[in-house]
């Protein structure tokens, strides 16, 4: 693990746990948005444990029929665990404002990513910085409602 990976992992941990703490302390009232992006809690099924796993994320695109999240992990050389989990089991749940709904996840193909990446970077220019820090192609994940 490189120094860059360590700092990305620590940063991701601080953001995740800091966000959860703020939500707990404020009774879920803050922060509903970070950097202008909707905050969501993504629930996946652990690919090895089979247990429900949850992570706090920001969605640069948040629409009634589509949520887009970026598997950046701060530019770490490896994909985040939540991404590995939804790749194995694409049926996920999303909690926003204490309401949990079922969604299906897929990794954007090259054409979708070419459309979505610039929109995500407009919402958070840091995504381009994360991409420049890693050799991996950072996945863009599209969530659509599951009936």
Average pLDDT over residues 33-52: 89
Task: Answer whether residue 65 shows pLDDT above 60.
Answer: yes
The pLDDT value recorded for residue 63 is 97
Other Cβ atoms less than 10 A from the Cβ of 98: the count is 8
**Other CB atoms within 10 A of residue 40 CB:** 20
**DSSP one-letter string for 22-72:** HHHHTTT-S-SEETTEEEEEEEEE-TTT--EEEEEEEESEEETTEEEEE--
For the whole model, what pTM was predicted?
0.79
CA distance 84 to 139: 11
Rounded CA separation 141/58 (Å): 12
């Amino acid at each position: 693990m490189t120094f860059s990976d360590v700092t990305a992992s620590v940063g991701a941990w601080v953001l995740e746990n800091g966000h959860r703490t703020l939500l707990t302390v404020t009774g879920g009232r803050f922060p509903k948005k970070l950097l202008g992006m909707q905050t969501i809690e993504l629930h996946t099924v652990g690919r090895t444990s089979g247990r429900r796993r949850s992570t706090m994320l920001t969605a640069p695109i948040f629409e009634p029929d589509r949520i887009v999240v970026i598997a950046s992990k701060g530019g770490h050389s490896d994909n985040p665990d939540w991404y590995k989990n939804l790749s194995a089991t694409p049926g996920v749940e999303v909690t926003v404002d204490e309401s949990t709904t079922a969604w299906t996840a897929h990794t954007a193909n090259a054409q979708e990513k070419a459309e979505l990446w610039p929109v995500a970077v407009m919402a958070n220019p840091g995504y381009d910085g994360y991409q420049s820090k890693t050799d991996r192609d950072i996945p863009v994940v599209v969530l659509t409602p599951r009936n």
